[in-house]
Amino acid sequence: MSMCKSDVVGPLTCTSVGSVSDVPNNETTPSIDAQSPDGDHEAFARLRMKGPRFDDTQLPIDAMVELQRYQRLILKGAELEWLKANPDQDLPADFAAGSKLVLKELEPGSTISVLDLAAASQYDAYYEAGREEFEREFEKIEQWLASDTAQRAGFDLLTLPLLDEPEFAELGSSAQPGDEFTIASPTTPAPIAVTQEIRTEAIAPLAEQRALLITPPTVVIAPRSVPGEVAGKLFLVNTETLSFEMRSLRYGKIHGRYRNSDLTADLRKVLDSKDKAPVVRVTGELRYRNDVLKEVLNVTAVQLLATDGEPWSARFAALATLDDAWDPENPNSRAVQFAALDAARAILGECAAANRALPGIFPMEDGGVQLEWASPEYVTSIEISPDLEFELFDLEVASQSVVEEQTTDLSNAKAFVARTAR
């Protein structure tokens, strides 16, 4: 069943995708062979996203990034194949142009995105080889996950070059609890399941190990320690050795140690499984090896990011896990401070009373938080600094009329929500 003909993969497809919902019965769950249900078309790939969010064959905007990640991995795989076949030559300038995947249709089955190459290209064979390379590497990673310690010792990470691409570790990261994400193509005997387990237990650590492995020995630098903070989820505390294990979104597994046993109670409060644990920020001495954070020593504080099941909670968790230098183009970008997020939460709570839509929630370079309501007619923002100063701004675009205030009083910032509601 064709649901959304010729929509191009990308953010512009969001409105049309969101409106597609003429599937009478989303209980239908067809298999996701690369073959279409009516058997007349062999797609390049079919990405199936299943879960409550995908009912009625809708593709949420924040899930579309998975299609981009997949496309990026296929292109990188294709480039590797081309370079292998054409040693000592530069990649053709137009190589990437033909690899654009298009979203041909959405099929019922909550939700299957059918991807094809946008147009025939002289490089099509390489794009298909790139897809097979991705599938080969994913299968190897699945085998690694299923193997025991002895078998893992002989695992050859050098055969997994696509792990160098950040999109590999990020693939499937937009999934929410209960979502399922699988990929099928004409060359997969069975659909690939991109699960939370394989992402956190296999892909992330293997990518980290490979990065260390391929770093030339000449640039290996001595461990360095700096005071700082790191955000993540605590999943193990050893009260005898005063140590813990946590998982950072950016660095993967991190070992922690503390000296003051009074911290044990605080750590236990925020301890849970890797999936369920709340986001915390740990303050201590950050110990890096080859610029990868490995340990946090002499921990002095653990802060909990309160999450409350509100519409903004997922966004808060995402901002809370941004470490220093979260913008790779800007080394001055600082980790978002939990105090600023706590103040933002208090302000967001005013929106319902003011009958106002929620604003955009953005990190600021200095570790603060920006709340912003924007339209072609008005732009209103509340900027919360790390030390809890509030900058209130309201612009009527046509007249360039501006209201701008600074305050350290949270109640003034909360009142600004209603004052500027229109």
Closest CB to other proteins among 40 and 329?
329
**Binding residue for other proteins, selected from 184, 319, 351, 417, defined by CB under 8 A:** 319
**Binding residue for other proteins, selected from 397, 409, 411, 418, defined by CB under 8 A:** 397
Distances (CA, A) of 189 to 14, 136, 140: 31, 11, 14
Site size for other proteins (CB under 8 A): 49
Residues 11-40 that bind other proteins (CB under 8 A): 11-12, 14
Closest CB to other proteins among 17 and 163?
17
- Shortest distance in whole angstroms from residue 393 CB to other proteins: 6
- Shortest distance in whole angstroms from residue 9 CB to other proteins: 6
Q: Does residue 364 touch other proteins according to CB under 8 A?
A: yes
| Only segment of 152-160, 226-234, 272-280, 376-384 that touches other proteins (CB under 8 A) | 376-384
Per-residue H/E/C for the chain: CCCCCCEECCHHHHHHHHHCCCCCCCCCCCCCCCECCCCCCECCEEEEEECHHHHHHCCCHHHCHHHHHHHHHHHHHHHHHHHHHCCCCCCCCCCCHHHCEEEEEEECCCCEEEEEECCCCCCHHHHHHHHHHHHHHHHHHHHHHHCCHHHHHCCCHHHCHHHHCHHHHHCCCCCCCCCEEEEECCCCCCCEECCHHHHHHHHHHHHHHHHHHHCCHHHCCCCEEEEEEEEEEEEEEECCCCEEEEEECCCEEEEEECCCCCHHHHHHHCCCCCCCCCCEEEEEEEEEECCEEEEEEEEEEEEECCCCCCCCHHHHHHHHCCCCCCCCCCCCCCCCCHHHHHHHHHHHCHHHHCCCCCCEEEECCCCCEEEEEECCCEEEEEEECCCCCEEEEEEECCCCEEEEEEECCHHHHHHHHHHCCC
| Only segment of 47-55, 96-104, 273-281, 296-304 that touches other proteins (CB under 8 A) | 96-104
Q: Does residue 387 touch other proteins according to CB under 8 A?
A: no
| Only segment of 29-37, 61-69, 80-88, 135-143 that touches other proteins (CB under 8 A) | 61-69
**One-letter amino acid of 16:** S
**Binding residue for other proteins, selected from 378, 386, 415, 419, defined by CB under 8 A:** 378
Q: Does residue 356 touch other proteins according to CB under 8 A?
A: no
**Binding residue for other proteins, selected from 402, 408, 411, 422, defined by CB under 8 A:** 402
Q: Does residue 111 touch other proteins according to CB under 8 A?
A: no
**Binding residue for other proteins, selected from 155, 235, 288, 362, defined by CB under 8 A:** 362
**Binding residue for other proteins, selected from 20, 277, 318, 388, defined by CB under 8 A:** 318
| C-beta of residue 123 within 8 angstroms of C-beta of residue 98 | yes
**Binding residue for other proteins, selected from 58, 110, 113, 333, defined by CB under 8 A:** 333
Rounded to the nearest 10 degrees, the angle between the axes of helix 313-320 and helix 338-348 is 160
| Only segment of 150-158, 198-206, 268-276, 393-401 that touches other proteins (CB under 8 A) | 393-401
Residues 217-276 that bind other proteins (CB under 8 A): none
- Shortest distance in whole angstroms from residue 254 CB to other proteins: 22
| Only segment of 25-33, 243-251, 288-296, 355-363 that touches other proteins (CB under 8 A) | 355-363
Q: ∠402-404-408 over CA atoms, to 5°?
A: 165
**Binding residue for other proteins, selected from 155, 235, 288, 326, defined by CB under 8 A:** 326
| Only segment of 254-262, 298-306, 345-353, 397-405 that touches other proteins (CB under 8 A) | 397-405
**Binding residue for other proteins, selected from 47, 361, 382, 413, defined by CB under 8 A:** 361
Q: ∠49-12-100 over CA atoms, to 5°?
A: 75
Q: Does residue 113 touch other proteins according to CB under 8 A?
A: no
- The binding site for other proteins (CB under 8 A) comprises 8-12, 14, 61-62, 65, 68, 72, 96-97, 100, 102, 118, 318-319, 322, 326-333, 360-365, 370, 372, 374-379, 381, 391, 393, 395, 397, 400, 402, 404
